[in-house]
Each structure stands twice: as C-alpha cells, then as structure tokens.
Amino acid sequence: MTLSSIDAARLLGRLRELGDIGRDADGRLTRLAASDTERGGRDRFVSWLEAAGLDVAVDRIGNIFGIWATEGIADRPPLMLGSHIDTVINAGIYDGCYGVLAGLEVIETLKASGYMPGRPIVVAAFTNEEGVRYAPDMLGSLIYSGGLDLDAALATIGTDGSVLGDELHRIGYAGDREPGFLKPHAYLELHIEQGPVLEREGVALGAVENLQGISWQKVTIEGDANHAGTTPISMRRDAGYAAARVVTFLRERAKASNTPTVATVGCMAFEPNAINVIPSRATFTVDLRDPDEARLQQEEAALADFLDTLSSEEDVTISVERLARFEPVMFDAGIVAEIETAARARALSCRRMTSGAGHDAQMIARIAPAAMIFVPSKGGISHNPKEFTGDDELVVGANVLLDVTRKLTQGE
C-alpha cells in the first residue's frame, strides 16, 4: 500500500510565515493571546482556512474553527484537529502552531486527494493556551469543554490590565458561536514534545497516552536567624538547611521510585539572606507531577509526612500553601493504538509516553476521546527561540496525523 503525504513545502512555509508574525525589531517572537500581533496571526490563519475552502467559525471566547463538511455528513460529530497559535514572550515558532497548521494541511491534502470522509473534519485554534496574558492557561479549550464560566472568563483581567472580552472585540475575534457548538467525535493534537525523551532515545514519534497530574505547593520554613559564628551546630534552627533537606528528599525519592514521578524545586528564597546569618526563613515551591492520580496523592502524602518529621527533627515551623492542583488526564486508548499502528505502517519508531506539559487536548478530553502525537524537540528546549524540530521530523508527524485522521473518519 502506498501512503499519501502532506505537502511538506506548504506546511513548512506556513509555519515559518506564521512564525514571522509578531517579531519585534530585535527578532523576538511574541504573540500574546488577543493582542495586536496575535490578531495578525489569526487573520493569516483565517485567510488560509478560507483559501482552503473551509467554513470558518469563531466562538465567543475567540476559538477559531475551520470546518470541512462534505455533503450529507454535516450533522455528524466531527473529528477535531487542533492546538493554539498564541505564544509565550520570546517564543519559538513550533509550540501550538505546528499542530494547528498540520491540521489544516491534513484537511487540504485529504480534500485535494478526493477523499470522502465519513464525518466532518475540523481544525481548531484555541484562545490563550499559554496563559501568559490571561489566567488560566488553556483557557479557550477549557471554556469549550464547559470547564469554566464564559462570562467570568471574558471578564478576566490580563497581566497588562486588559480585559479579555474587550480585547477579543477589539481585534475582531469575539465570535457568535457558543463554545462547545461542535461536539467532537474525537480530538487529535500534534505537538512538539517540549522535552528531551524522543531525541535522546532516537525515537521518531510519541503516542501520548496520558498527561501528568500537577501539584504545586509553596512551602515556608521558619527557624531562627542567629550568628553564623557564635551558634553551635547543635543549637541551630536553620530554615535553609531544612529546605535543602526537602530538595534532596524529593530527588532521592523520585530517583528511587522507578515511576515517572517528577519533583522540582524551582523557586527558593532565604531570609535574611546574609552570609553570616543562619537563615530564619526559607520559602520554596514544590512541583510534583505524575500521570497516575493515586501515585500523585502518594507523593503529596510522602512530602507531608517528611515535612512533619523534619519540623520536629530540626525544630522548625513549616507551613504549606497549595498553589495549583490538576488531576492527570488519560487519553483514549483506542486512538493511541491507532497512532502506533500508523507509525508502524510508515516504519517509524514510536513510543507511548506521558505529556509533562499541559495541552488543549487535556481540556477537550473532558468532552471527547482524545490523544496526542509528539515529535522530537531538539535538546528538549521550548518556550525559547531555540525551540527546534527538524523539517523531516515535522513532516513525519504531519503524515502520521494524516493517516490517523483518515482512519478516524472512514465510513460512518
């Protein structure tokens, strides 16, 4: 069987073209959600949708949809392909845009080939996935899946003081469709990995079977600020040392556990932060992630137990504040298997994996069977101008998206 392929030049050309919208004089790419530069990206995307002969729809939270519905199937639940085109500050060109443009590319390829899908195929670009300008992140897909009140979301104040609803009006993307107006039959998101696993293992594709649950906590340890010279070790209540013990505990536990659990202490501050004063206070964050909810709860409990023990061993006072908590998301096993099958048919190496980052797919998974396909990220780098995936790797990913799309839209 000969497999058809997407138009590599068209896909890569659009990726670069979109990647030039929002570059400042220093060459830095920034397209924050609902900003003027993002309007430029949206307008270009919509022009491509129209040129491809798709029906364009925009919902009230600004999500954009390009709909391909051939005669007689318009009422069937569509297969939805999608991601986002907003970016972080000083971004790379792949994050989100790759999935959106590959979705469009797949539809155009199928259309041009005379394919007759059994259900509509839709490409979606969701609003404010990055969450840099408005909180929470993945806002557009969260609203679409009914997870947040629309009016509250439209009233969200951005980091720049702007109101999301006003900004959507201003840039012409306050649509009239109700979020959720198309209930997907299934949802597929192609994305760069944003991690180092595929590259280091030399694997072409990831069939993403789940997405880590996230637990964010802020820990504050209080001891005594005493003189570094005159206070014997045995008389210290050293908040900094106690904090260091938490950092090493988390790492040793994660290392010994033989599970995909990851634990990170990213923020750390000592007070008074003076060279010759024992820290009276240490404040730090703990980021725990695991694709299994029971295990994530186990890790949280183990940390709580350790903090209890530490508090008495080091005679310090410890308080914990929960900053964020998301349960893991299980993707659809059937779709994951189709991704593996499609990769095998093209003789591509493929591994099941967990997404360590959040994606629109986790929100749409609330209302439809969903899964993701990952392609390698050079050095695991993302949210950075150095974000990079090779052209061949991008094309490979889009071709597998094409195959799975065909599979999921065959017959009725």
Distance CA 73, CA 292 (A): 38
Going by C-beta distance under 8 Å and a sequence separation of 6 or more, which residues neighbour residue 93?
15, 16, 18, 19, 29, 387
Q: Which of 372, 350, 369, 368 is nearest to 359 (CA)?
A: 372
Going by C-beta distance under 8 Å and a sequence separation of 6 or more, which residues neighbour residue 59?
65, 144, 175, 176, 177, 178, 179, 180, 181
Q: Which stretch binds a second copy (CB under 8 A): 52-60, 77-85, 176-184, 270-278?
A: 270-278
Four-CA torsion 324, 193, 298, 362, nearest 10 degrees: 60
Q: Which stretch binds a second copy (CB under 8 A): 57-65, 167-175, 240-248, 402-410?
A: 240-248
Q: Which position among 279, 328, 376, 397 is part of the footprint of a second copy (CB under 8 A)? A: 279
Min dist CB 330 to a second copy, Å, is 17
Q: Which stretch binds a second copy (CB under 8 A): 32-40, 160-168, 238-246, 342-350?
A: 238-246
Q: Enter the tokens of residue 169.
A: 């009006």
Distance CA 268, CA 275 (A): 16
Site string for a second copy, 343-362 (x = CB under 8 A): ------------xxxx----
> Residue 318 pairs with which residues in a beta bridge?
221
Site string for a second copy, 198-237 (x = CB under 8 A): --x-----------x-x-x---------xxxxxxxxxx--
CB nearer a second copy, residue 122 or residue 204: 204
SS3 23: strand
Site string for a second copy, 250-269 (x = CB under 8 A): -x--xx----x-xxxxxxxx
CB 190 within 8 A of CB 83: yes
CB nearer a second copy, residue 52 or residue 277: 277
Q: Which stretch binds a second copy (CB under 8 A): 105-113, 124-132, 166-174, 241-249?
A: 241-249
DSSP H helices in 33-161: 36-51, 97-112, 139-144, 150-154
**Residue 298 near a second copy by CB under 8 A:** no
Residue ranges that bind a second copy, judged by CB under 8 A: 193-197, 200, 212, 214, 216, 226-235, 238, 240-241, 243-245, 247-248, 251, 254-255, 260, 262-270, 273-279, 282, 285, 287, 289, 323, 355-358, 380-383
